[in-house]
Structure 1
Amino acid sequence: MGQTQQTENNEEMDVKALQDMYKKFVMECPSGLLFLHEFKRFFGVDATGEASDYAENMFRAFDKNGDNTIDFLEFVATLNLVFRGDLEHKLRWSFKVYDKDSNGYVDKNELRSIIDVSQIHYLYPNDLYTQISSFALDEVVNRILQAVDSDGDGQISMEEFIRGAQQDQWLLSLFKLGMNPAGWVLAQRRRSAHF
């Protein structure tokens, strides 16, 4: 019974967070389009700060049609997916965030970049952050490639990414929570509310 109530409260919080973001979108983007610099401002990201690359990757993942803007439908669809989608859909979306050059593969440099930014901003839960911070960045990247890159080509395809995350709890936590867009969005929202 307590778990049901907790789930309902989390869903209520998610709905409230979504509603707040929808209102903010409409107020800040009356044209109905959100550009990269506005996206960063929207989530309180310094244009030149450490989270800038991460925000750019998220922007690209939101921008479904690749026109360098996010319209309201893209915004709503993506937020709905990251807050309410099933695990495979969330992993597919996270893969797009990792795949900086949109070539359909995540390579060592892309992994290193995202994990580095994620560590800096403490986007992992405390226990995962403690595990990751005890390793050098290259050790974490190499462990991921070893576990996920089944064909050994030095790149991770979307299928390898999803399969690896579903087979290894540590990777699932890293891929899903380290790149948890819902968590990042809520953290940025809380952060910008304090300033």
Structure 2
Amino acid sequence: MDHTKVDNLIEQIRNSCLIKNVSGIKYLSVIFRRMDTDFDKRLSYQELDEGLKTFGLEIVKDDLMMLFDAFDKNKDNQIDFLELVAKLRPPMTKRRVELINQAFDCLDANKDGILNIDDLKIVYSTNAKQHPKFISGEWTEEQVLRNFLDSIDTPGNPDGKVTREEFMNYYAGVSSTVDDDSYFDLMMRACYGLPNRGS
């Protein structure tokens, strides 16, 4: 197997996702998840092909077969799509991954591994009240919080719940637009009220 060609193909798919918007990788993950009707987090070759086409990506059959084979570790004609999506995320430093996980933990008030409006009412209410549309009276606090949650949730089909994986996929897209680690660190701490390093 040509590992360089597989890496190039992954890079091509990643770039296509990021061109759509910072939520592109998360959206592709959602397409795969919808196809996973038996919830085993695995896809056949046909499902992978169909999922990529639904997303708007046409990949030459030989290249797609090579990609599928690279992820079909135990040769059972199924791939773990979460492993593929994790590989599609733009590479992030360990520090950035830790910050994203800290932010998720900070927002997950009831510690159930899913962010929803009730979590945000507990931990993000102060931020919501600083939003221009709340201050002007145009939106209620709940509308501000819902808008924030929807921005991280599934593009075009938000369900009001954000998993750690979705949160990580979203911020992997954001991370790809921020070159400077210090700025990313500052941005995440300011946005989520995370303590400064060493505090």
TM-score clears 0.5: no
TM-score (norm 2): 0.36
TM-score (norm 1): 0.37
Rg (Cα) greater in structure: 2
Higher helix share: 1
Q: Between the two structures, name the one with larger relative contact order (CA 8 Å, sep ≥ 6).
A: 2
